[in-house]
Amino acid sequence: MDSTSNLTKPVSTFGKFDNFPDYIHGQLKIGHRTSILKMYQIIVLTLNKLNNFTTKLELSDADHAKRQEELMVYEVGIADGSYFQFLDHETMTKLNAYNQLVKTQQVSVLLDVLVVISYHYYRNDKKIALNSDHNILRFVITSRVLNIYLYNAKGIRRLPLDQFLQRLFDKILEEMKRQHLKTFTIEAFNTL
């Protein structure tokens, strides 16, 4: 089997999670004035930058004062049928192949993503892991609307869902501004 057949086969299920739930915990609806292809590219760039992104975290636990540093790390996976592939060089290649499919369709785009947020802190120079949050996102891009559906699959929501969606929105907006694109407006923002 040659390497091109490995790329074309996954594209048919690539980007769609077969078991995306009917019930969601949050939605972000954004009106935009850019092409479907460009919006898809913005989403992919944002997810790539979010992957392995580390930031400080403020926790409200009783032993908070004993901790030296608290961090959260984002890890991104792209759906491929019934599982997710970690966002690495190979997955980015598949996203670029999917990009060509988006270019030819120009109707709407669906992209399912798993974002795992790992939390840890340091105590006496020892790294201590906390429970992670597993959030499944569905991006639905049409000619004038970007819908982001959020399902919290696992975790205690150490980072509240509204803050998670807001951070995602801020990252997407940052990428659009960086590329000097017309920004968009939030039409709906709901979380449970």
Helices (H), the chain: 3-11, 36-50, 89-105, 161-178
Helices (H), 51-153: 89-105
Give the Cα separation of 191 and 34 in Å (integer). Answer: 26
Domain limits, the chain = 24-191
pLDDT digits (tens, 9 = 90+) for 45-87: 999 999 999 988 765 555 555 555 688 999 999 999 999 999 9
pLDDT digits (tens, 9 = 90+) for 97-133: 877 777 776 567 899 999 999 998 887 788 888 889 9
Return the pLDDT at 5: 38
Return the pLDDT at 47: 94
Return the pLDDT at 8: 35
pLDDT band at residue 3 under the 50/70/90 scheme: very low
pLDDT digits (tens, 9 = 90+) for 136-173: 999 999 988 999 999 999 988 888 999 999 999 999 99
Task: Please tell me the pTM assigned to this model.
Answer: 0.84
Return the pLDDT at 108: 74
Q: Which DSSP symbol is given to 14?
A: B
pLDDT band at residue 11 under the 50/70/90 scheme: very low
Return the pLDDT at 112: 96
Return the pLDDT at 64: 54
Quick check: 117 and 130 in contact, CB under 8 A?
A: no
pLDDT beyond 50 at 1: no
